[in-house]
Each structure stands twice: as C-alpha cells, then as structure tokens.
Amino acid sequence: MTDNNTSAPSGYFTQERIQGDLDYKRAQSIAKMMLDSGLISVAEFNKLTAINRETFSPLFAEIMPEIA
C-alpha cells in the first residue's frame, strides 16, 4: 500500500528509519573529517562507510554508489 502523496510504501518513512539516516549522515561526516585531516586512510574510510551502512541502515542505501 502506498501513501496518496508519494510513491513510497506506507510506513516506509518511520521515525526509526529517519533517525537511522540522520545517525548515518553524522557518522559519515565524522569519518570524512578524519579522512580529510589525514587521521585515516581511504581504505579505512571505506571500511567505516560499510560499517555505517550496516549499522544505521540509511534511507535509500540500496541506490547509494558502491564504495571505491
């Protein structure tokens, strides 16, 4: 069943999913700052990104590009 205003399935945008997306973005921001300041390597950043995707299950993870 879909919402009348969107094509997303009803109940897709739950508070838990939205919070997971916000937490993912926050964690990625911190990882990016660490990468930019030289504290971690690109390989470590990619590992953190994979862990963050599993941990926080961000919205639209299925269409996010693969990690390089």
Please give the chain's pLDDT, 68 residues, in tens.
Answer: 444 555 555 666 788 888 888 898 899 999 999 999 999 999 999 999 889 888 887 766 655 655 65
pTM over 0.75: no
Burial 27-44 (b: 16+ CB within 10 A, else e): bbeebeeebeeeebeeee
Do the Cβ atoms of 67 and 46 come closer than 8 Å? yes
- Count the helix, strand and coil residues of the chain and give each as a percent rounded to the nearest 5: 60, 5, 40
Do the Cβ atoms of 19 and 55 come closer than 8 Å? no
